[in-house]
């Protein structure tokens, strides 16, 4: 039986009465995506004496959402004031931007335009301006002349748009790699390619097995506190700890196209549509990247598996049936809104229909200007069975000596350092 006693220094003392060969860690972090890494960084800064172990089922970092996103450091415009997203986005973006600069990592301070793709969406601009200001973001309404100066090949359906000068673009893979190395130097340990086999929740004890190995090599870890930062798998892991009942993750696939380098136009800033504020997706957008390529996307297509990035590989039939059931409930509850939205999004998987959607913002875009990029990400969108709705905000759930981060969707990458501070506080470590 394991007992953990916090000392004044916030370090933990372990007492054992078992004959298993165990590793003893003050903090175990499941998941080495941006949220898990940022957690380790902030814990180490506040409590340098705590021993921290990051466990990831993959052999390298950044193989899921954190290495597959748009790389946009959001300015904090979209989120309802007082939500967790609104509270952490502006501060998180500033901190990640400063960290990238201090590390000499590429960053494109290119700003962003939000443009109505239909005239009737013009009135949403005021809502976004209000939200942005309330959240502490710098947001300006611009007219068509200013819009055209910034995006000569773009279109605003109403003659107005929003200019966000603080939005910037980073390279997520480079950030993850550098943060991983920094953490190692700070004394954080990594256990890669390992998955949970069993959890003894009250004993604060994990047994791990090597992922994709036939030899059931077992390791045992005792922890003082565990943070579940497993992104697309977070609800499944939470349930092993008796947490998150009533929630299930629904995966939505985001496919990106690349603008052909010979296309007769380019983009120096991000160009986003006015989003449907009732759903947690921002819509197909145009993003210049730090290596000079221009990406268009991502789509938000219901995915047949949480890690089903390509073809039929890693399809989860039971999950797909559950997904269809949950989406049907959404559609029935909200037949005009989400149903129409989901149908449109599913069709964006087809190039001609994707092109049609993108043309609402770039009228001269042609099929030959879009080339396959191979870039695909899957959003870990949380669904609440009790309310029958998609959850818009981040969700933090507490278990015995554990904290579970559910719904770490956008802007969790942007907000990671600030979000980690909030999670740490929530955990009462
Ligand atoms: C297409 C797309 C575009 C996006 N664009 C943006 C953007 O522009 N800006 C922004 O701020 N955000 C964006 N996001 C959101 C952002 O990428 C995520 O919010 C963020 O990366 C979440 O980080 P995470 O650490 O929670 O998850 P992940 O990066 O998915 O990390 C989870 C980790 O847990 C590991 N894991 C899973 N199961 C287990 C297990 N059983 N045991 C051990 N380890 C496990 C995985 O291997 C993975 O490494 C986008 C997301 C997508 C999909």
pLDDT of residue 346: 72
Read off the pLDDT of residues 360-395 as tens digits, 9 standing for 90 and up.
Answer: 999 999 999 999 999 999 999 999 988 888 899 999
Residue ranges per domain, the chain? Answer: 3-105+165-264+294-426
Give the HSE-up count for residue 426: Cα atoms under 13 Å, Cβ half-sphere: 20
Q: Classify domain 3-105+165-264+294-426 by CATH number.
A: 3.50.50.60
- H helix runs in 153-303, sequence order: 172-185, 234-240
Distance of CA 54 to the CA centre of its chain: 18
Atom of ligand 1 nearest to the CA of 64: 30
Average pLDDT over residues 220-249: 96
Atom of ligand 1 nearest to the CA of 254: 1
Atom of ligand 1 nearest to the CA of 380: 53
Alpha-carbon gap, residue 345 to 238, rounded angstroms: 29
Distance between CA atoms of residues 361 and 15, nearest Å: 62
Which pair of structure tokens corresponds to residue 275? 């989003």
State in Å: Cα 33 to ligand 1 middle.
6
Beta bridge partners of 56: 192
pLDDT band at 304 (very low <50, low <70, confident <90, very high): confident
> Residue 190 belongs to what H/E stretch?
strand 189-192
| pLDDT tens track for 109-145 | 999 999 999 999 999 999 999 999 999 999 999 999 9
Q: What angle do CA 40, 41, 46 make, to 5 degrees?
A: 95
Q: Where are the beta strands (DSSP E) in 57-110?
A: 72-73, 107-108
What phi, psi does 186 have (nearest 5°)? Answer: -80, -5
Question: Are the beta carbons of 69 and 285 closer than 8 angstroms?
Answer: no
Of residues 42 and 23, which shows the higher confidence score? Answer: 42
Q: Cβ distance 74 to 275 under 8 Å?
A: no
178 vs 182: CA distance, rounded Å? 6
The burial class, CB within 10 Å (0-12 / 13-18 / 19+), for 62 is: buried
Q: Which helix (H) or strand (E) covers residue 249, if one does? A: strand 247-259
Q: How far apart are CA 40 and CA 191, in angstroms?
A: 14
CA dihedral sign, ordered 115, 414, 282, 394: negative
Instruction: Measure the CA–CA gap between 274 and 118, rounded to whole angstroms.
Output: 9
> Rounded CA gap, 338 and 414, in Å?
26
Q: Which phi-psi region, left, alpha or beta, contains residue 415 (left: φ > 0; alpha: ψ -120 to 50)?
A: alpha
- Residue 194 Cα to ligand 1 middle (Å): 17
Residues within 6 Å of ligand 1 by CB: 30-36, 55-58, 63-66, 68-72, 74, 195-196, 229-233, 237, 254, 298, 377-379, 408-414
* pLDDT in the model for residue 348: 78
Q: Ligand 1 centroid vs 365 CA: distance in angstroms?
A: 31
Residue carrying the six token digits 């992104």: 231
Report the pLDDT averaged over residues 27-53. 97
Asked if the model's pLDDT at residue 338 lies above 80, the reply is no
In total, the chain counts a number of residues equal to 429
Return the minimum-mean-pLDDT range out of 91-95, 297-301, 312-316: 312-316
DSSP lists the bridge partners of residue 160 as: 143
CA 60 – ligand 1 centroid, Å: 14
Among 64, 108, 168, which is best to mutate for testing ligand 1, by the most ligand atoms less than 8 A from CB?
Answer: 64
Confidence of residue 323 (pLDDT cuts 50, 70, 90): low
Instruction: Kindly give, in sequence order, each residue whose CB lies less than 8 Å from that of residue 122, ignoring residues fewer than 6 positions away.
Output: 116, 157, 158, 160
Examine residue 191 and say whether the peptide bond preceding it is cis (omega within 30 degrees of 0).
no
Global pTM value: 0.92
Of 93, 43, 49, give the one whose Cα is nearest residue 425. Answer: 43
pLDDT at 330: 63
pLDDT for 252 beyond 50: yes
User: What's the pLDDT at 1?
Assistant: 31
- Collapsing DSSP to helix, strand or coil, 164 comes out as strand
At 218 the pLDDT is 74
Per-residue pLDDT tens digits for 278-290: 888 888 899 999 9
Q: How far is the CA of 35 from the centre of ligand 1 (A)?
A: 8
């Amino acid at each position: 039986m394991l007992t953990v006693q916090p000392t004044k220094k916030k370090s933990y003392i372990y007492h054992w009465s078992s004959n298993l060969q165990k590793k003893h860690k003050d903090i175990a972090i499941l998941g080495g995506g941006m949220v898990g890494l940022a957690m380790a960084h902030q814990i180490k800064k506040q409590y340098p004496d705590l021993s921290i172990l990051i466990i990831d089922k993959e052999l390298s970092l950044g193989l899921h959402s954190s290495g597959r996103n748009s790389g946009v450091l959001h300015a904090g415009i979209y989120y309802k004031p007082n939500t967790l997203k609104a509270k952490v986005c502006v501060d998180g973006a500033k901190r990640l931007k400063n960290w990238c600069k201090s590390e000499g990592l590429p960053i494109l301070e290119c700003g962003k335009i939000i443009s109505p793709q239909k005239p009737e969406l013009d009135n949403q601009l005021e809502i976004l301006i209000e939200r942005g200001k309330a959240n502490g973001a710098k947001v300006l309404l611009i007219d068509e002349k200013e819009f055209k100066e910034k995006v000569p090949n773009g279109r605003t359906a109403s003659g107005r748009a929003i200019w966000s000068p603080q939005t910037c673009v980073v390279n997520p893979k480079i950030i993850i790699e550098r943060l991983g190395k920094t953490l190692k130097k700070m004394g954080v340990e990594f256990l890669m390619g390992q998955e949970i086999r069993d959890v003894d929740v009250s004993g604060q004890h994990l047994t791990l097995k090597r992922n994709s190995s036939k030899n059931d090599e077992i390791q045992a870890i005792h922890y003082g506190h565990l943070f579940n930062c497993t992104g697309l798998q977070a609800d499944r892991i939470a349930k092993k700890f008796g947490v998150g009942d009533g929630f299930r993750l629904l995966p939505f696939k985001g496919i990106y196209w690349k603008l052909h380098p010979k296309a007769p136009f380019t983009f120096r800033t991000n160009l986003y549509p006015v989003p449907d504020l009732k759903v947690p997706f921002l819509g197909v957008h145009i993003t210049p990247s730090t290596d000079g390529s221009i990406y268009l996307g991502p789509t938000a297509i219901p995915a047949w598996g949480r890690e089903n990035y390509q073809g039929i590989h890693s399809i989860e039939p039971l999950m797909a049936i559950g997904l269809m059931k949950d989406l049907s409930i959404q559609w029935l509850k909200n037949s005009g809104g989400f149903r129409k939205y989901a149908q449109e999004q599913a069709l964006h998987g087809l190039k001609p229909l994707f092109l049609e959607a993108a043309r609402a913002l770039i009228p001269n875009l042609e099929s030959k200007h879009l080339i396959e990029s191979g870039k695909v990400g899957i959003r870990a969108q949380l669904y609440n069975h009790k309310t029958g709705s998609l959850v818009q905000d981040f969700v933090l759930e507490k278990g015995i000596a554990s904290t579970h981060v559910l719904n770490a969707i956008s802007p969790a990458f942007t907000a990671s350092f600030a979000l980690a501070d909030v999670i740490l506080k929530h955990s009462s470590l």
